[in-house]
């Protein structure tokens, strides 16, 4: 167990805590790659599959509306267990009934919503336990769990489900998604704040509003809501292999195995960089350098090896950005925060928002200007966002990070 700092508590190794995020990663990989594979095998049109996928993963943004429940009544561990079981059951049900869209869409929507609540519960839980100097390391392992588990599902999920008896595949998916909950046995789970659990909803609402008025929270939301380091191009590249004369096998290789290796490698860089550069300016620097990389790739020939360079580079920068964003989120939460799960879910929603709308802009630009249009749109809007933030918030972004708030006071 690691020694606690002020409001923080003793906890197991950081990697144990970070790997708890694997359930959300597995659900993400299942929804964006494995489920579309199953639907395509059933003959569902590509446009319909894209719409279904967008609907299912939409809770990644709007789940924050219900996030306050994660900080009251029950321990965050209890909430995490409940939503892990619901998410795993939804995925297993879909394996058995993926031919029935009338059932699959609502069940998977509930499943992904549960996975979002799960991530909020464990993020708030783990984030409130750590010392202030452990933010970047927990962010690293949180993102490694997300990337690694998603990659495992991408590589193995489709073949397992398509070539195994349905009940066997469903059971393996169910058990596999619940394995990370074993890590809960090694992590202390403090009880929820008694005032938040017992006082009126009005008091609870005022506490949340007070939280959202904190300057460090507002700065974090500004960093995440603007597409300063969204790297949404990774969601578009999978369909652009033909522009590089890359085969479906090449695209799958980099989307699966390649993304795991590049993503995990990129994640490990953040703690090293954070020793030299504060997290907030580091986040902007990742966005700027990544945008320059995106533009520079337009000078390369349109060849399969170029697709590999582009996809790998974008994945590395995306991993850097998400890891830094997780670390900033844990920094904002601080130790012993009674509203940790609420705050973490709100921040994650802000991180996901530009990935959605910037991805739509990338697609719009591709329809009008091809590969060049899409890349210029993606890099240009990212550079513009970084410039606006650097100028408008320079006093707070480049100054010292605020000290962690231990046991934040609640308004009367």
pLDDT at 3: 46
Question: From residue 101, how far is each of 35, 39, 53, 97, 349 by CA, in Å?
Answer: 11, 9, 12, 8, 27
Under a CB-based contact definition with an 8 Å cutoff, are residues 371 and 150 in contact? Answer: no
CA distance 228 to 222: 9
pLDDT at 107: 96
Summarised one tens digit per residue, pLDDT across range 144-187 is 998 888 888 877 887 888 888 999 999 999 999 999 999 998 89
Q: Give residue 236's Cα distance to chain centre.
A: 17
CA distance 252 to 41: 16
* pTM to 2 decimal places: 0.79
Summarised one tens digit per residue, pLDDT across range 242-253 is 888 887 677 767
The tokens describing 360, both together, are 């739509």
CA distance 381 to 375: 10
CA distance 317 to 288: 10
pLDDT at 354: 87
pLDDT at 29: 86
Give the residue-averaged pLDDT of 390-398: 78
Give the residue-averaged pLDDT of 254-267: 78
Mean pLDDT of the chain: 83
The tokens describing 146, both together, are 């997300």
Q: How many residues does the chain have?
A: 412
Q: Please give the domain boundaries of the chain with CATH numbers for all domains.
A: 14-185+212-397 (1.20.1250.20)
Q: Where are the alpha helices (DSSP H) in 98-247?
A: 101-127, 135-163, 166-178, 194-198, 201-212, 215-225, 234-237
> pLDDT-derived band of residue 205, with 50, 70 and 90 as boundaries?
low
> pLDDT-derived band of residue 366, with 50, 70 and 90 as boundaries?
confident
Under a CB-based contact definition with an 8 Å cutoff, are residues 319 and 147 in contact? Answer: yes
Cβ-defined contacts of 348-352 (< 8 Å, 24+): 348/60, 348/64, 348/116, 348/119, 348/120, 348/123, 349/60, 349/61, 349/62, 349/63, 349/64, 350/220, 350/221, 350/224, 350/225, 351/224, 351/322, 351/325, 352/60, 352/61
Q: Give the burial class of 356: count Cβ atoms within 10 A of its Cβ; 0-12 exposed, 13-18 middle, 19 or more buried.
A: middle
Q: Is 50 exceeded by the pLDDT of residue 320? A: yes
CA distance 259 to 143: 12
Q: Is 90 exceeded by the pLDDT of residue 27? A: yes
The tokens describing 125, both together, are 């839980």
pLDDT at 200: 44
Q: Is 90 exceeded by the pLDDT of residue 301? A: yes
Summarised one tens digit per residue, pLDDT across range 342-362 is 888 888 888 888 887 887 788
Buried b (16+ CB within 10 A) or exposed e, 292-321: ebbeebeeeeeeeebbbebbbbbbbbbbbb
pLDDT at 379: 92
* DSSP tally for the chain: helices H, then strands E: 19, 0
Under a CB-based contact definition with an 8 Å cutoff, are residues 376 and 365 in contact? Answer: yes
Helix (H) / strand (E) containing 190: none
Q: Is 90 exceeded by the pLDDT of residue 232? A: no
Give the residue-averaged pLDDT of 286-309: 92
Summarised one tens digit per residue, pLDDT across range 61-92 is 888 888 878 887 889 999 999 999 999 999 99
pLDDT at 401: 55
Give the residue-averaged pLDDT of 245-269: 77
Lowest mean pLDDT among 30-39, 81-90, 243-252, 376-385: 243-252
> pLDDT-derived band of residue 371, with 50, 70 and 90 as boundaries?
confident
- Per cent of the chain over pLDDT 90 is 30
CA distance 390 to 380: 15
Under a CB-based contact definition with an 8 Å cutoff, are residues 173 and 108 in contact? Answer: no
pLDDT at 199: 52
């Amino acid at each position: 167990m690691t020694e606690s700092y002020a409001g923080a508590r003793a906890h197991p190794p950081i990697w144990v805590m970070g790997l708890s995020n694997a359930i959300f990663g597995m659900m993400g990989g299942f929804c964006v790659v494995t489920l579309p594979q199953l639907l395509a095998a059933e003959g569902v049109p590509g446009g319909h599959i894209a719409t279904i996928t967008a609907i299912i993963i939409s809770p990644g943004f709007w789940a924050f509306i219900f996030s306050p429940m994660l900080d009251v009544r029950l321990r965050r561990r209890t909430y995490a267990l409940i939503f892990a079981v619901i998410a795993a059951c939804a995925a297993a049900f879909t394996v058995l009934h993926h031919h029935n869209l009338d059932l699959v869409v609502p069940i998977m929507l509930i499943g992904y919503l549960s996975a979002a609540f799960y991530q909020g519960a464990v993020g708030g839980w783990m984030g409130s336990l750590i010392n202030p100097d452990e933010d970047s390391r927990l962010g690293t392992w949180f993102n490694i769990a997300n990337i690694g588990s998603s990659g495992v599902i991408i590589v193995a999920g489709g073949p397992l489900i398509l070539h195994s008896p349905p009940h066997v595949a469903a059971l393996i998916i169910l058990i596999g998604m619940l394995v990370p909950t074993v890590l809960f046995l090694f992590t202390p789970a403090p009880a929820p704040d008694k005032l938040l659990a017992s006082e009126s909803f009005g008091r609870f609402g005022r506490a949340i509003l007070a939280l959202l008025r904190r300057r460090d929270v507002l700065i974090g939301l500004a960093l995440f809501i603007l597409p300063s380091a969204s790297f949404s191009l990774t969601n578009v590249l999978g369909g652009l292999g033909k522009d590089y004369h890359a085969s479906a096998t090449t695209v799958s290789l980099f989307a699966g195995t390649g993304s795991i290796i590049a993503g995990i490698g990129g994640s490990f860089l953040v703690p090293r960089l954070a020793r030299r550069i504060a997290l907030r300016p580091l986040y902007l620097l990742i966005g700027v350098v990544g945008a320059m990389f995106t533009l520079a790739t337009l000078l390369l020939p349109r060849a399969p090896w170029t697709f590999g360079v582009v996809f790998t580079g974008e994945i590395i920068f995306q991993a850097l950005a998400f890891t830094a964003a997780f670390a900033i989120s844990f920094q904002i939460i601080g130790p012993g925060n009674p509203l940790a799960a609420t705050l973490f879910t709100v921040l994650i929603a802000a991180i996901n928002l530009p990935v959605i709308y910037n991805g739509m802009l990338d697609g719009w630009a591709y329809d009008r200007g091809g590969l060049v249009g899409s890349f210029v749109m993606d890099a240009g809007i990212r550079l513009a966002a970084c410039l606006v933030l650097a100028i408008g918030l320079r006093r707070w972004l480049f100054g010292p990070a605020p000290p962690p708030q231990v046991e934040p006071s609640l308004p009367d």
